[in-house]
Amino acid sequence: MTPKSLAPVTGAVNDRHVPTLDLARATLRVVGDDLEPRELTELLGVKPSTSYSKGDVLTSKRGTTRVAPTGYWSLDAEDSAPADLDAQVTRLLARLPDEAALWNRLHAHFEIDLFCGWFMKEWNEGTALNATTLNALANRGIDLTIDLWDGRDD
């Protein structure tokens, strides 16, 4: 018999009496001075959500301009509200190759992470990634970066 404290946790975050995170955004980001968006797009076989090369002149939505300090390529997952980060990340990774040699080559030249914005309405909300999804990130060497927003206006 397994003691209750060691019993496996199953299901969603709500099964653990934690309210589900209100909104999750996830973006795969690849950054590096030598990054050429067209080449990376060909390697990964998917069109980026945003991309630019180091030195490109970028114009914001407000009309201000700046010079890109480094190359950048990103692929956005569809927002998830309420958050289902695991499904979100699984769908995003399914669009990408999983060959270790390719990801090792990319890591030799670029910084790669999965940037997640987590937006809460209340002070205590949560989400989860299952071990299979975490393994898929780890096999590609993708770091997980989390930015938390607690929903307060102050």
Following CA atoms 39, 97, 92, 20 in sequence, which dihedral angle do they give, to the nearest 10 degrees? Answer: -140
What digits encode the pLDDT tens for the residues 1-54?
A: 444 443 343 444 445 556 666 677 899 999 999 999 999 999 999 999 999 999
Instruction: Give the highest mean pLDDT range of 61-70, 81-90, 122-131, 140-149.
Output: 61-70
Section 88-96 average pLDDT: 92
- Rounded Cα distance between 35 and 54, Å, is 8
β partners of residue 52: 72
What digits encode the pLDDT tens for the residues 111-128?
A: 999 998 887 777 777 777
The answer to whether 30 and 106 have CB atoms below 8 angstroms apart is: yes
Q: Where exactly are the structural domains of the chain?
A: 16-149
Inter-CA distances, 106 with 32, 39, 74, 87, 113, Å: 10, 11, 14, 25, 12
